Structure 1
Amino acid sequence: MPMSAKDIESLIKTALPDAVAALTALADDNDHWSATVTSSAFKGLSRVRQHQLVNAALGDKLGGELHALALTTQAP
C-alpha cells in the first residue's frame, strides 16, 4: 500500500521533531515522492549523514510502501 505525504511527514517529524518536510508527488501513485527536509539536526553533518537520518526515520517503509524518494536535506 503506497504512502501519503502526511504519513511520510509524520515519520520524519517523529524522528526529527523540528523538521519541516515539503513533499511533491512525482507520479499520481503515492509511491514516488520528492522531499526537501529542513532540520537543525543536520547542522554540521555531511549530506550523506543527513540523508541517513531521514532514511532511518522512514525505516522499512523505504523500498517497500515508499518505492522512491528523491531527497534534499538542509539545515536552517
Structure 2
Amino acid sequence: MTSTAISVQARKRIALVAHDNEKANLLEWAIEHRELLATHDLLATGTTGKMMAENLDLPVERLRSGPLGGDQQIG
C-alpha cells in the first residue's frame, strides 16, 4: 500500500454560517476563539458576516445572504 502526503497550509479559509436562530451561539463561539480566528481568512454569508465583522473587529469576506446564493458560494 502506498500513501500520499498532503501539504496543508497553516492559514485556512474558514466559513462562518449559521441559521438565524443560531447566529448568537456562533457569535459567542467566535468571540471565545477570536485570537485563533484572527490567524485565518474568514468568510461568511451576508448577515452573519456583518455581525462577525462588527463584533470581532476582524476582516470577514461577506458573501450573499444564504437564501440568495451565499450557501452555494461557500460550497
Q: State if a TM-score over 0.5 links the two structures.
A: no
Identify, as 1 or 2, the structure richer in strand: 1
- Greater relative contact order (Cα < 8 A, sep 6+): 1
Identify, as 1 or 2, the structure richer in helix: 2
Q: Specify the structure having the higher radius of gyration (Cα).
A: 2
User: TM-score scaled to structure 2, two decimals?
Assistant: 0.30
